[in-house]
Each structure stands twice: as C-alpha cells, then as structure tokens.
Chains A and B, each alone.
Chain A
C-alpha cells in the first residue's frame, strides 16, 4: 500500500490537519512498521518544545518512539507560529541524530584532540582554575555564557560566576542588542521589544530599518504579511535589497551606518508638516523640543541626502506613510545595533516613534527583534558583566538582595571577589581578546585574562579574527563547553601566525554539553513571553546538560552547597555515571522569588507548563487566552497572555496576566497595561519628569505622574495598611524591587498604579555621551568628506576595564587614506539556513546542503571593474591585513559601494582549510571563511557593542 492509497482508505486527511496521534499511522504506511507499533507495547510519546534557532519562539511537537526522535510537527495551535516553520525549524529533528557533535570530553595534546574521561577533564580544569584564581585573581578568568542556555541555566551561570568571584562574564547579547537594551531602557524604562510579533498584525504601517526578518526571523513574517494583506504599508530601509525588502511597498537604500541622518530626516518632515502627536508628546515625552531644534537645524533634506544618499522625496514619502497610517510600527535589528554609535541610532528610532505617539499602542511600538532563542532571557536573568539577574546592577544593595534570596552570606560572596572588584563591571565578550593582549598597566584589573570559558558561544561571531587567534595562543586555559565546539576547537589547534607563538603551558579542553532538546526549562522569546520546553530525548553520547556541569564544577571548586541551597537535588545518570542535578523548576522558582524589577515573578513552572498544554486557547492576534482550564493542573488560563510576557508582576497568586504591549495606558496594570517608567528622578532643570496630569494607565488611583513605590511612599499614601501583617514584615524598609513578599507590588496594582511609577519617556538621555543622538561616521568609513563633517568621538582611557579607541583609529584611516585602498563598505548578516556562528546548523545536512560555500555579494558594476564573474573565488581584503577567500555572488542586491558577506561560516582561515584541526568526527559538514577574520576595530560608546555593519574592504579576483 502506498501513502496515498493508505490515506484514501483510512480516511485520514493529507497535510496540515493530521493530529499527532495519527502520525504514527501515516508513518506505518510508508515505512516498515516497527515492532513497537505492531505489538502496541512500544512507547510513543509526543514532547512539546521550542525551536532553538531564533527569538520568534516557534513551538514544535516531537514524536519520540522508544527514546528516538522519529518525527516532528510544527504546533498548529501555537499562537506564535500557527503551524509554520522556516528551514531551521523544520530541520530540528536532526538534533536527535547529532552525527557531527562532540561525543566525549577531549583535550588538546600535541596539536591533536584526544578523548579523556569526564573525571579527568573536571579534575584538571578545576585544579587549573583554582591555580589561576590563587596565583593571579578571580578576574584572571573570563566566562562567556550563552543565549542558548535556557533561563534557568543562564541565571545559574550568573550566580555561579559570582560565587567564583568575578564579574568577567558575558554572552551574545553584548554583540546583538546591548545598544538596544541600554538605549531603549534609558529612553522609557525597559530595554526590550515593546509589543509582539503577533501585534504587528494590527499595524497600518511598518518600517523595518536594519532588520532582514525574512531570513533572520522568518516566521515573524506571518504577522507582517497578514497585516500587509489588510492594507499595512511596508517600508524597508537597508543598504541591501533583502528578502524582506522584496516584500516591501517602499524600499529605501541607505548608506550603511547612516541611520540617524535618515531617521532624523524623516522627523524633519514630520515636524515640518505638523504630523507629530502633540498631546502625546506633551503628556508623555521629555526633551522633544531639543530634538526638534536639532532636527530642523541639522537634518535638512540636503544634509540627509548628502549623508545617507536618500533623496528628499523618498524620505518625505516614508514620513507621510508612517504619519498617515497610524498605528505604525518600527522594527530594527543588528543593522542598527552593531555600530560605534548603536546606542544613539536605536534612540533615534525610539524618538521617531515617540513623536508619532506610537509607543504603548497596539499596532505601534518599537519592535526590536532579538536574535537567539533565549537571548532575551539571558539578557534578563543571565550572565551580564554589569548586572546581577533582573537588571539589579552590582551595587551593595543589589548583592544583599540576592544574598538573601540565595540563602548565602553577603560577606561570604564579598570574600570570593578580589578587593574592590565586586561592584565593578567586568569586561565584555566583544573585548576579551584585549583583556588578554592589552598591556597589563593599561587594564583596570589586577592581571590580564588568562583563562577563558566558551560556554555556548561561537568565536567567529566576534570581530577581529586575527587578534583573537593571537589571544587564544596566549591563554593558559581554554575550556569550550558546547555540543558543537568546533570553530573554537579548530582555531585553538591550528598553528600560530608567523612570528607568534603558542603559550607552552596552555591547556585546551572540549566538553560536550547537551542541546536544549535534551533537557527542560523555560526560554523567553523576543516578545517577552516565556515558553516551557519539555525534554525530548535523553542526552546523546557523553553529553551533559549545562546546569549539571555548573553544579559539577561548583562541587569541585568548593561552592557546590552554596550554589544550590534552594534547589531540590536529583541524582541523574549522564555519560554512564551519576551526577548531582539541580532541579530546573526550583531554579525558576528562585528567579520568581528574586527578579521583581522586570516582573519575572509570576511565571511559575506550573503556569508556564499549563500554557504550553493550552496553546490553542490563546488568540493569535492578541495573545490573550479565550478561556480554558488545564486538565492536568486545573489552572484556568482565562485572561492570561500567552507565556505571561514580562513584566508579570507580583507573586503567581495574584495572577497578573503578563504584559502584551509595554506602556499601554489603555489597559489597567492588572490587565497588562502600563505607562513609562520613573527611573531617572522626578525633575530636571526645573522641569518635571513625571507624566502630565491625566496621563496614566486605565483605572489608576493616581491620575497624575508619580514616582516609583517604596515603603515610605506607601505610608504617605495611606496604603501601607492594605498590606497583610506577613507582607509588612518583609516589606518594611523596602521598595517594589526588593520587597520579597510582593506585597508592595500587590497593593500598588490593586490601586491601579504601576509599581515603577508613571513618568515621561526621555528623548534626551543626558547620562549618555551624546544625549541627543549625533551621527558619527564609522571608524573605518569609506567616505572621507563625511568623516570630516561627522567625526567620531575622543578615545576612552578606561571603559569596561579597557582603553578604547575612536579618534585615533579614524584619524589613521584619514591620514593613511585607507578609504582609497579599501573603497567598498563591508557589511555582514544572516542567511535563513544558518544561525549565529553556524557550527550547529552547518552540521545539519538538511540545512548545510542549501548553502555549501560562503560568498560575498558584489554589485555587477563593481565586479565588472575588477574582472570578477559570478561564483568566481575572490579575496576580500581588509585593513587588518586579513584576507578571506569566498565566492563572488554578483547581484544588484547591493550597490556599487557595498559588499555583504554572511557571518555564519568558519573553518577556512585566509584560504586554508582547517578541517584537519577539528576534533575527529566533530567538524561541521560545511566549512568556509569567517567574515569576522577580516572585520575591524570599533565599539559602541556606551555598551562595547562591536562594529560589524560598517567597515571597509577591497575585493580582488582570486589568483
């Protein structure tokens, strides 16, 4: 019987509607029936998980037969993906094969990776960590964590690093949206996507600037294209004509790195035509007058066209479309964030949306698409060098708050740190290379970094590859914890460049971690919804889940008890032996008990699991539950928003529904509404920073602006006695962020008010280097007149523990006329088939087959001038002296002055294939040149974000 005949006879429909329980029947017809299916005794289960390849958060149902992942289906009822997957999502099941994964711990011995036991690995590594810690300081180690860890693991790692005694830890958010987080939080309160992918269905116009969602967030296009079919006008602004641009009504090509001139050019027409929302600005925005002055004086149509190459008529059309089709939304990604002035670019985007009154409105918003599947969560509660979980910062009060929650003595934690280092931000993942290589007297810590953990991070996503190789050579200890440690492994094992040497005492270890399909836990999608992943399969090979490894390291380093005071400990078998495993649910409960600032308190494991079972009850347009009781727990989802998007304030008992759209005054706080945060004082230069009278969230007992709540303010208002006696005991002397009872938040919200106050958003961020966003040309700009007109800033002597250069580098570019030798702008970005550094996705045959070689997109005229034909090999050369060998994709996607290279490749090094340096059996199928081998110096002036989007290159025919 063939498949079609079977389907005909069985009456089972083809395609989308087949329920998971029937899938085995379909499979039975096409494949040899397995024993399990025949005798009815085999164990067939369906496990629900979330794709690990981007922040959209597509749900997947995995069919597991006797422990083997045999089939996958998109979750048709998920309000987020509605049954859709992209290439990566549809290829997830390969994680159950793992043919090209690291299988067991390995150590680099005489240039080759050799298998060792877990015991040997953990014993040797922890001994060396202790040595470095004692001989130098805890800051001699740097721990690069991961946005691919789930929330619980990311949170545990921040705790773990603190107990080791350093703030030298970071993760992908630094090089992804750190500028967004800082810029946006400083504008209106929280540094996150304000609305949701789904809410974009309500937009009447959408402006994408620096986002190629069709490749980076493919399933988000469901919402956009739905809106478009209902009349939404789509504008895409990008140096490339991307797959996203192909879906636009209006495409605007700008010169890379000129977002501020463009956005302020749009604002010029908005102000000029009186299109701004005057009442909204008056009620809810501080400093728009200053912006208006700057815009009207500096960003006239002529200046805008000169800077970004966009004619006035196009800019005017964008302004008109955004103004006359409100609510209009604005989307940005790495195209805005990865610049030396990224923090200012994202604020220019915020200001445009504030001027139009689009923030806090359904269909409007600053829809900031995050990258990794849990980069939002890892940013919120994970390993950040400048903050404890929940953006609490590193001040003594924050440490005491967490010491209480963790059940450890504050003085003990303090004793783990080198003197005076506990409250000082660590260095960043973008700069670990310099923390190793910089002269010791130039860095702001006792010793250079000598030991490094890559705990779920690719090296080829960071810039300045040649310098990174030198830094890797110099380390004493390099530990890579990853299911796919391959690019780091090969870079470490390959020989040094001529004139450089490898540290004779260096040890390199590779440790096989599991993927997220071999463990359980929560992940936060870009829209701030938390989704729970069930474990799909047991760990493959000798791999071990990350949180189990953290415990194992902690046990050997002597803080195993302190790490897990509040967790139930399981004894679990991995790699043939028993391990101490902190229970994931208990870690989430600890997050619930500590992270009041961002409302990570209401998302208990029970509520999240109920949501996953009850996905069908949530409306895809609003994310709100239409009502329904979870049969397992009896939990009623009525009124909840899917995944309880943070902030979900208060304890779970008060049942805050989560906040679908931030700062939305049309809803009451207990229905997920809100207003802008009072986080910057109540007054500046005689002007109130609080919201104007009458501007507050629906049903608020206080109808004027008000400051954030603490015990004093509560007492003044006469609300203190609304707390219970038990709450009063814990809330005395505390504020809404530190009251462990949740009583302050409960009572404030009961009165319809917002715990963080009610203030104006700031168009002027006076605590940033450029309070009003100022355009500054990239350090390696190819445009000499613009560099002279819009120069970069002065060098910084001590910034995140390191000297950081701006003017010196740009002056060198000008003095040596690098822009003549390297006249083409080099920019980089994503492909739909791959993710991040790409080791994982290039190891997946279903994906790897679709993109087998790295390439540079070059305009036909630029190619012709260089004698380059389509798919020729070419050298892309950069001012660092690096050159990369890639194919030439001759295309009009880019203009003559711009070249684009995807960043997912690694494994070729300036023309040399590194395959022989990979651990045996653990090299990806597809290797290629990493664009970041060639990228240059340059870091954001607030967050140390790396500049990847605007640098320079020359392209030559390969010979």
Chain B
C-alpha cells in the first residue's frame, strides 16, 4: 500500500496555506516586518490560484490527449502561444474581446487538427507529428503578431480590464480576477464533463484504451483523433489567450515547456484520488494544476534558501515529473503483485 504514504506527502503540499503562515511567522521573528510579508504572501496565494486556474484550462487539454486519447501531443507548446498571439493581435486591432477569444479557440483547434492529419495521413508517429506542428507554429505565431516576438497589452482593454471595471468599487480587483477565473475554469470543466458523457465523448474515451474496439463499432478513428486533438489544442489556446491578458503581453516563447507543465500537473492530480468518474478526473486536473503552480511559486520565492534561481524551475518541473513517474511505477508494481496473488 505505497499509495497511502505518497498521498500523505501531497496532502502536506495541499495544506499550503498553513505552511505559508508558518513561514511568514518565522520571517517575522527573523526580520520584524510582518506586514510586508503577509501582503506578499496573500498576493502570492492569489497568484497561485489564478495561474493554477488559467493553466488548468491548458492542463485539461493535455489531460484529453495524454490520458483520454493516449496521444502524446506536443503541439501544445505551439498552440499555447498561438492562442496568446491571436488574442493579443486582435485586441490591439480593436476586435471585440470575446470574439478574439473565440478566434483563439478556433486557431488552437486548427493546430490540433493539423497534427492529427499529419499523423493519420502520413502515418507519422504522434510525437513527431506534434513536434512538426509545434515547430511550424513558432513562425506562424511571429507572423500573427506582425513579425514581432512580443506584443505588450498593458494599455489595451482586455477581458480582465473589462471585468474589473464592471465590478469596480464592489470587489477588490485581485479578487474579481480570481472569482472570474474560478468560474471560467469551472464552466469549461463542466462542459467537458458533459461532452465526455455524450456518445462521441464515450467513444473518445474508448479510443485511447482500445482502438480495435472503436473500429469495430464502425467509427472512423482518424476523424475521432482529429476531434480529440483539436478540442485539446483549442483549450490550450484559450488558456494561452487568458495567460497573455493576465500577464499583459503575448510572447512567442510563452509555450516553451508547456507540455511538461501540463503533464506534471496531470500527474500530481492523479495522486490526490483515484476514480473512473469524469467529473472527478477533470476536477483533479485543475487541483493538480494549482498544486503545481504552488510548488513552482515555492521554488521561486523560497528556493533561494537552498540556492535555487528562477532558471532552475524547468529542472524542478522535469524532476517533478520523474518523481511522479517513479511513484506511479512503484504503485503499478504493487498492484500487479496483488493481482498475481489473487490469481494464485
């Protein structure tokens, strides 16, 4: 029962707030500047949740390809900045913000469909198909942003500035953004839950598990893969579009390592609880994303005690995945042993 020990470790990180309060008190004794530290930590917790929710939309996309479709899709590294680029360019050109968001979503879908078609038509392994699209998207993204690698959005009206101006004087702006992203992430999560209960959604679920079974039902699996990978990248692009608005710029390098972020978040989520209910699966994806962001924030703010710099965060992300894989493998081995005992 290795499961228990490991989940205890993650419950610890789950009780993040308590840890933070402890750290704050420790620093108060050390430096005597309680007020500054508390303000810093509250904005930090708010930042963790907002970023966790924004990136959670992307992680839902990664979850669809990696876990449901069993189609390791690296297009994500390109479709995330694609969403950001489309959003930023259209905002600056004066389009309606919601129209721009829809366009980002469609752009992401198109990128995913390109990957699926390369994979289906040319019989290229899915990893390679994703890398091809991702590489091409680098140039496409720079084109979209008008041959620039970076587009600042600081003086433009975005969805976020709109929302904040609507609730001005009622709720502090930081909380408005937090509440807004909570509802956006939940709306997307529940639409996905609904989608995966439809006949098409169920078939997508079976596709990652047993292609032969889906073929036997008279379903064209190439079309199904295009739908699944398209939907996934659409979500990733929406996530990128929100990330650009939250950070105040779109950058062509925004997507580097997004797959790793997504995968690590999915894996962290899987340690929280096991279930076969899609409602629970999508929920733990978002929780996983928030925990991942928390770990990264901890690494960024408190890592200097052990000599970590922000440049080490990618290494941290990779090590996190390796740790998750090792734990998961240990679990599987235990499970297999139990299964064998049952047979005997």
Partners in one complex: no
On A, residues with C-beta under 8 Å from B are: none
